[in-house]
Amino acid sequence: MFDSLSDRLQDIIRKTSGNDKLSDDNISDTLREIRRALLEADVSLRVVKAFISKIKDKVAGEEVTKSVTPGQQLVKIVYDELAELMGGSNTPISTEGKPNIIMLFGLQGSGKTTTAGKLAIKLRKENRNPLLVAADVYRPAAIKQLQTIGKQINIPVFTVDNSSDVRSIVSSAVAHAKENGFNTLIVDTAGRLQIDNELMAELVILERLFEPAEKLLVIDAMTGQESINVAESFNEHLDVTGVILSKLDGDARGGAALSIAHATGKPIKFIGMGEKLDALEAFYPDRMAQRILGMGDIVSLVEKAQENFDIESAKEMEKKMRKSEFSLEDFMNIQKQMKSLGSLDQILGMLPIPGLNKDARQEIAHVGEKQLKRIEACIQSMTPEERKKPEIIKSSRKKRIAGGCGIPIDEINRFLKEFENMKKMMKQMADMTSTMRKNPKKMSSMMNMPGGLGALKGKFPPFR
């Protein structure tokens, strides 16, 4: 659905001027494209407008039009500007107060309860002694949910049975913490609409009474244009100290991050990256900027791979590659694992390959997947022995295989030859990675070998 902004910019410049130069004529078209890309990433219109006028000034100032690669330069300006807007560096969480009180709030379904559990683990790792406080007295089973999470991560949860008075719950929790040596309270409050004055008042009362050191707004990364109103309203009432962006493991571009940063001027402190309770990470503005621009998403791809690949069998595979023992059987297994990552098109979409637009990508994926199916059919027509030792496949075996899978012999020949070559290449790669692991310095000399990794240099946009 979304094409990468960098592709689009290159395209539009080429289309309007016949070459890769940016002119005064097509600059407005280009800015419109940037605007659209930001809107598609759910950045608030108000923020987009301010942003575009800033970019306009910068473009004029830096004379992008005279650059040889105006498209790339433009993307860089936008990228830098985005990262800066979201706050250059990460702001750590406050430890002030005895006990230190952290209050979580947000709309219904933004992920507060899960986030509370994740935050507790995070703080325990920093040698704090957290107590979770169940102050969502409205949603059915919300307290039970926090208790279950607490049990899973072995962190105590403070509850008051049958009480709907959040004020007294928190004040008892503070007393309980003081008595029992908990230095950090994480208060999970009920979800509420920012326009619900009664429920907002409840939060304000808590805030005034207990003066939490951290007032963290939890916002769903998939939120659309409404994010700016939500953030502004909560900030107005409660003067939030930071934001946690949840569910960023989805594929939303997360333009909400930009809107929130712009609207509140408050730092995004953490991002939720999965349903597992250790999936809370520090926020990196640069990664977020890449994501908003659609400059590939290597990080997600790696994470997906980690989720789906069996590390042990991968190690085993590497050993086989080094010893040139890699068989057709192994090849099939790898194909199977690749498929668990998604379609070829999806995988390619996550890679930042310059010039690979959506159509080209789908074309490659289509041809590739067709090819793979033929190869699979071919392998399936082989005996286990043939799969292990393809070198024993001579003409009579080839005839049988061809008969079995309906693929002409010359194609089978070609495939077997390619497989031999691939095996050789794999051995080289496997040797290289193992050298790299043992001796990273040697790697740099390899980079400069002809045909080595150095040949790839400059072909990918810089990743920070």
User: Environment class of residue 63 by beta-carbon count within 10 Å: exposed (0-12), middle (13-18) or buried (19+)?
Assistant: exposed
Task: Please give the Cα distance from 187 to 80 (Å, whole number).
Answer: 36
Distance CA 424, CA 433 (A): 14
Q: Does 205 bind other proteins (CB under 8 A)?
A: yes
Helix H or strand E encompassing 243? strand 242-246
Q: Binding of other proteins at residue 97 (CB under 8 A)?
A: no
Q: Which stretch binds other proteins (CB under 8 A): 65-73, 79-87, 92-100, 136-144?
A: 136-144
Tokens representing residue 127 in the block = 């040698």
- Comparison of 55 and 382: residue with beta carbon closer to other proteins: 55
Q: Under a CB-based contact definition with an 8 Å cutoff, are residues 149 and 113 in contact?
A: yes
200: contact with other proteins by CB under 8 A: yes
Site residue total, other proteins (CB under 8 A): 67
Residue 47 in contact with other proteins, rule: CB under 8 A = no
Length of the chain: 464
Given strand 157-158, what is the order of strands in its sheet? 157-158, 130-135, 184-189, 100-105, 214-220, 242-246, 268-272, 280-282
Out of 23, 53, 89, 152, the residue judged to bind other proteins by CB under 8 A: 152
- Contact pattern from residue 283 through residue 312 relative to other proteins, giving x for each residue in contact according to CB under 8 A and a dash for the rest: ---------------------x--xx----
In the list 80, 96, 275, 418, the residue contacting other proteins (rule: CB under 8 A) is 275
- Is 41 a residue that touches other proteins (CB under 8 A)? yes
Q: Does 249 bind other proteins (CB under 8 A)?
A: yes
State yes or no: residue 53 binds other proteins (CB under 8 A): no
Q: Tell me how far, at minimum, the Cβ of 159 lies from other proteins, in Å.
A: 12
Is residue 423 classed as helix, strand or coil in its secondary structure?
A: helix
Burial bucket for residue 220 (CB in 10 Å: 0-12, 13-18, 19+): buried
Does position 45 interact with other proteins (CB under 8 A)? The reply is yes
Query: Is the omega angle on the peptide bond into residue 99 within 30 degrees of 0, that is, cis?
Result: yes
Q: Residue 34 has which token pair?
A: 């940037």
State the nearest-atom distance from the C-beta of 274 to other proteins, in Å: 9
d(CA 304, CA 293): 20
How large is the angle between the packed helices 197-210 and 227-238, nearest 10 degrees?
A: 40
Q: How far is the CB of 92 from other proteins (least distance, A)?
A: 27
**Which x/- pattern over 255-274 shows residues binding other proteins (rule: CB under 8 A)?**
xx------------------
Q: Does 164 sit near other proteins (CB under 8 A)?
A: yes
Q: How far is the CB of 157 from other proteins (least distance, A)?
A: 11
Phi and psi of 418, rounded to 5°?
A: -60, -35
Q: Distance (Å, rounded) from C-alpha 405 to C-alpha 324? A: 27
Cα angle for residues 163, 168, 171 (degrees, 5° grid): 135
Q: Among residues 195, 351, 422, 455, which is the contact residue for other proteins, using CB under 8 A?
A: 195
Q: Which is nearer to other proteins, 307 or 410 (CB)?
A: 307
Which of these, 39, 40, 38, lies nearest to 78 by C-alpha position? 38
Cross-strand bridge partners of residue 219: 245
Residue 1 binds other proteins (CB under 8 A): yes
Stretch that binds other proteins, among 41-49, 360-368, 376-384, 389-397 (CB under 8 A): 41-49
User: Which range in 21-29, 108-116, 178-186, 284-292 contacts other proteins by CB under 8 A?
Assistant: 108-116
DSSP β-bridge partners for residue 268: 243
Beta carbon of residue 454, minimum distance to other proteins (angstroms, whole number): 34
Q: What is the dihedral of CA 375, 381, 384, 390, to 10 degrees?
A: -50
* Selected range binding other proteins among 138-146, 352-360, 379-387, 437-445, rule: CB under 8 A: 138-146
Instruction: Give me the residues paired with residue 102 across strands.
Output: 186, 214
Question: Exactly one of 26, 73, 110, 159 binds other proteins (CB under 8 A); which one?
Answer: 110
230 lines the binding site for other proteins (CB under 8 A): yes
Say whether residue 40 binds other proteins (CB under 8 A). yes
Task: Give the binding site for other proteins (CB under 8 A).
Answer: 1, 36, 39-42, 44-45, 107-111, 113, 138-142, 144-149, 152, 164-165, 167-168, 193-202, 204-205, 220, 222-227, 229-230, 237, 247, 249-253, 255-256, 275, 304, 307-308, 340-342
